[in-house]
Amino acid sequence: MEKTFYFPDVGEGIAEGEIVQWLVAKGDFVKEDQPLVEIETDKAVVSLPSPFSGKVTVIQAASGAIIPVGTALLTVETEVPDSETPITGRIAETEDRKTAPPKKDGGSVVGVLKESNEAFVLPANLKAPEKPDTRKIRAIPSVRILAKKLGVDLAELQGSGPDGRIMRDDVEEAAQALTRKAPQDTLPTPIEDRTPLGPVERIPFRGVRRSAARRVTQSSKTVSPVTFVDDADITKLERVRLAKKDLTEEKGFKLTYLPFIIKSVVAGLKAYPFLNASLDETEKEVILKKYYNIGIAVDTPEGLMVFVIKNADQKSILDLAEEISSLTEKAFSRTIALSELKGGTFTLTNYGVIGGIYGTPIINYPEVGILGLGKIEDKAVVRKGEIVIRKMLPLSLTFDHRVIYGAESARFMNTVIEHLEDPDLLLVTGK
pLDDT truncated to tens, each residue of the chain (431 aa)? 889 999 887 765 577 888 888 999 999 999 988 989 988 776 577 788 999 899 999 999 888 888 888 899 999 998 755 555 443 333 333 333 334 444 433 333 333 333 333 333 434 443 444 444 345 677 766 677 778 777 888 888 887 766 677 877 788 788 777 765 544 443 344 577 788 888 888 877 777 777 778 888 888 889 999 999 999 999 999 999 998 888 888 788 889 999 999 999 999 999 999 999 999 998 999 999 999 999 999 988 878 899 999 999 999 999 999 999 999 999 888 888 888 999 999 999 999 999 899 999 999 999 999 999 999 999 999 999 999 999 999 999 999 999 999 999 999 999 999 999 998 887 654 44
For residue 332, the model assigns a pLDDT of 86
For residue 43, the model assigns a pLDDT of 59
CATH 2.40.50.100 for the 2-99 domain, yes or no? yes
CA distances to 200, 228, 275, 378, 412 from 407, in Å: 49, 10, 12, 29, 9
Architecture of the domain delimited by 141-184: Irregular (4.10)
Domains 2-99 and 141-184 share a fold: no
For residue 322, the model assigns a pLDDT of 93
For residue 324, the model assigns a pLDDT of 95
For residue 410, the model assigns a pLDDT of 97
For residue 176, the model assigns a pLDDT of 73
**Cα–Cα dist 23/89, whole Å:** 16
Answering whether pTM is above 0.75, one says no
Q: Which 3-state string (H, E, C) describes the chain?
A: CEEEEECCCCCCCCCEEEEEEECCCCCCEECCCCEEEEEEECCEEEEEECCCCEEEEEECCCCCCEEECCCEEEEEECCCCCCCCCHHHCCCCCHHHHHCCCCCCCCCCCCCCCCCCCCCCCCCCCCCCCCCCCCCCCCCHHHHHHHHHHCCCHHHCCCCCHHHCCCHHHHHHHHHHHHHHCCHHHCCCCCEEEECCEEEECCCCCHHHHHHHHHHHHHHHHCCEEEEEEEEECHHHHHHHHHHHHHHHHCCCCCCCHHHHHHHHHHHHHHCHHHCEEEECCCCEEEECCCCCEEEEEEECCEEEEEEECCHHHCCHHHHHHHHHHHHHHHHHCCCCHHHHCCCCEEEECHHHCCCCCCCCCCCCCCCEEEEECCCEEEEEEECCEEEEEEEEEEEEEEECCCCCHHHHHHHHHHHHHHHHCHHHHHHHCC
* CATH fold label, 207-429: Chloramphenicol Acetyltransferase (3.30.559)
Q: For the chain, which residues make up each domain, given as ranges?
A: 2-99, 141-184, 207-429
Amino acid identity of 366?
Answer: P
User: Annotated catalytic sites, by residue?
Assistant: 401
Instruction: State the CB neighbour count (10 A cutoff) for residue 234.
Output: 23
Amino acid identity of 388?
Answer: V
For residue 295, the model assigns a pLDDT of 97
**Cα–Cα dist 169/174, whole Å:** 9
For residue 63, the model assigns a pLDDT of 84
For residue 386, the model assigns a pLDDT of 95
Phi-psi group of 42: left, alpha or beta (phi > 0 → left; psi -120 to 50 → alpha; rest → beta): left
CA distances to 85, 130, 156 from 133, in Å: 25, 9, 14
For residue 121, the model assigns a pLDDT of 41
